């Protein structure tokens, strides 16, 4: 950020009065331009013992498998965003059971949310951001070709929780993991 989006004057990185950390602040009009974490919302859609995955057609992590997910938009709920992304990336529809996993990723200023649900109808196709979309059986997941750590974690919990027969909602803060670069 170089310039004020309100008045076009240069911004400086400084600690505003009453604040405790540096912010981009306009040197002319005084406007503070806060930068905050962004939310990625997605869905774990299953049918029987199979889960819907997308192979990414775009950076980052092109060619790797992910649960359908993307940036939550203004004006939508996280649940609606998860279904929107499922449609955009996998041409999939589903019924959500609720929030399943939440992961804070402070090193990249993101919060991931995954909702658990049922693929309904059992139909899917690659959207423009996917090279392929497929149903993977729980015992044959592509562990060595997953796109993101939050996806890997969510799938591991899903396997554990299926065995236990209960799907509690979890939040975890994750550190950077060199396997996903």
Q: Which of 13, 59, 121, 128 binds a copy of itself (CB under 8 A)?
A: 128
Q: What is the DSSP string of the chain?
A: --B-TTT-PBEEEE--TT-SS-EEEETTT--EE----EEEEEEEEEETTEEEEEEESSSSSTTSEE-SEEEPPTTS-HHHHHHHHHHHHH---EEEEEEEEEEEETTTTEEEEEEEEEESSS-----TTEEEEEEEEGGG--GGGBS-HHHHHHHHHHHHHHHHT----EEEE----GGG-
Q: How far is the CB of 4 from a copy of itself (least distance, A)?
A: 7
> Could you say whether residue 17 binds a copy of itself (CB under 8 A)?
no
133 belongs to the binding site for a copy of itself (CB under 8 A): no
* Shortest Cβ 17–a copy of itself spacing (Å): 12
3 vs 143 by CB, closer to a copy of itself: 3
CB of 66 to a copy of itself, least distance (A): 19
Residues 57-116 that bind a copy of itself (CB under 8 A): 71-80, 98-99, 102, 104, 106-107, 109, 111, 113, 115
The residues near 17 (Cβ < 8 Å, ≥ 6 apart) are none
Q: Is 134 in the site for a copy of itself (CB under 8 A)?
A: no
Residue 161 binding a copy of itself, by CB under 8 A = no
Binding residues (CB under 8 A) for a copy of itself: these are 1-8, 11, 18, 21, 24, 33-39, 71-80, 98-99, 102, 104, 106-107, 109, 111, 113, 115, 128, 168-171, 173
């Amino acid at each position: 950020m170089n310039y004020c989006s309100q008045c076009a004057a240069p911004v400086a990185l400084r600690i505003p009065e009453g604040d405790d950390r540096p912010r981009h602040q306009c040197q002319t009009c005084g406007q503070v331009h806060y930068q905050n974490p962004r939310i990625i919302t997605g869905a774990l859609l299953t049918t029987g013992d199979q889960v819907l995955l997308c192979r990414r057609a775009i950076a980052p992590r092109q060619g790797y498998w992910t649960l359908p997910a993307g940036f939550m938009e203004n004006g939508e709920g996280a649940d609606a965003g998860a279904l929107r992304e499922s449609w955009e990336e996998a041409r999939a529809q589903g019924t959500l059971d609720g929030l399943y996993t939440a992961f804070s990723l402070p090193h990249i200023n993101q919060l991931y949310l995954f909702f658990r649900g049922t693929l309904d109808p059992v139909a899917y196709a690659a959207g423009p951001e996917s090279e392929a979309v497929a149903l993977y059986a729980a015992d044959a997941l592509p562990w060595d070709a997953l796109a993101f750590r939050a996806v890997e974690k969510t799938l591991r919990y899903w396997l554990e929780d299926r065995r236990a027969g209960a799907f509690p909602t979890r939040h975890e803060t994750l550190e950077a993991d060199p396997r996903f670069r």
